[in-house]
Copies of this chain bind each other. A is one copy, B any other.
Amino acid sequence: MSNTRSFNRSNSEFRPVKITRNCNIWAEGSVLIEFGQTKVLCTASVSNKLPQFIKDQKLNHGWLTAEYNMLPRATSTRNSREGRKGGGISGRTMEIQRLIGRALRNAVDLEKMQDISIVIDCDVLQADGGTRTTAINGACIALYDACQYLVTNGLVAENPFKEFVAAISIGIDNDDILVDLDYSEDSNIGADCNLVMSESAQVIEFQLSAEKQSFSKQKLDQVYTLGQDSIEKIITLQKESLGIDK
């Protein structure tokens, strides 16, 4: 498998990345992000609709939540739209959007967002593996812009953006470790990892699941090292797209 990776890349390389900011005229932050053939439209929407638990508990901070969705023909065969015929959304979608939300809440200081709610929407226009990590990488840029909007419009006293977060998928395929799986790789992988880290090299999420192949602590450590390396490079790309010097 590893000899013929897409875009002629080695096992430890992620796919070419393209970032288009301000792709939506309405949202406070918006990015179209592409990792190879995976394309995700991310928007950050500011409002003052706080979730019920914050109001009930009179908590002294704002909130950030995320929604994830695939267009029906994001995939090689068409999928039904979730929720159209009752029955709610799938477990996979729920898991992904909860992950995106947790990841990005680590990018901001919620206490600097009093009475402010940010909703991150990640809509997958085209899927070829790694949609949840691509979504996090794009959404963090949209979130940065939305935080600037809060500052510019005097909605916050201080900029709540704390630090960048980025994510990458890594797979274990027998003895090989592959970074940034595309769909054909992902669907046959032995074990599958998603790593989310911050700019300050702290781990936010580390989820490693055996699909077909359980694994040793040694493999886990290799996965970690390769993931961390990619995340550092992705954060550099996020900053470049925003014109921030490293």
> How far in angstroms is the closest Cβ of chain B from A71?
5
User: Which interface residue of A73, A98, A198, A200 has the most chain B CB atoms within 10 A?
Assistant: A73
In the complex the two chains form, what is the Cα distance from A37 to B122 in whole Å?
20
Assess whether A47 is interfacial by the CB under 8 Å rule.
yes
Give bound CA distance, A33 to B82, whole Å: 24
**Restricting to A46-71, which residues have a CB under 8 Å from any CB of B?**
47, 67, 69, 71
Number of residues on chain A facing chain B (CB within 8 A): 64
Task: Enumerate chain B residues within 8 angstroms of A207, measured Cβ to Cβ.
Answer: 205-209
Copies per assembly: 6
A42 to B: closest C-beta gap in Å: 10
Whether B203 lies near A102 (C-beta < 8 A) is: no
List residues of chain B with CB within 8 A of the CB of A228.
217
Contacts A/B (CB < 8 Å), 28 sampled: A24-B73, A24-B125, A24-B126, A25-B126, A26-B74, A41-B125, A43-B71, A43-B72, A45-B78, A69-B81, A71-B123, A82-B83, A84-B88, A85-B87, A85-B88, A88-B88, A91-B91, A102-B209, A106-B210, A106-B214, A197-B214, A202-B215, A203-B208, A203-B210, A203-B215, A204-B214, A205-B209, A206-B207
Name A residues whose Cβ lies closer than 8 Å to a Cβ of B. 24-27, 30, 37, 41, 43, 45, 47, 67, 69, 71-78, 81-91, 94-95, 97-98, 102, 106, 119, 121, 123, 125-126, 128, 197-198, 200-211, 214-217, 220, 224, 228
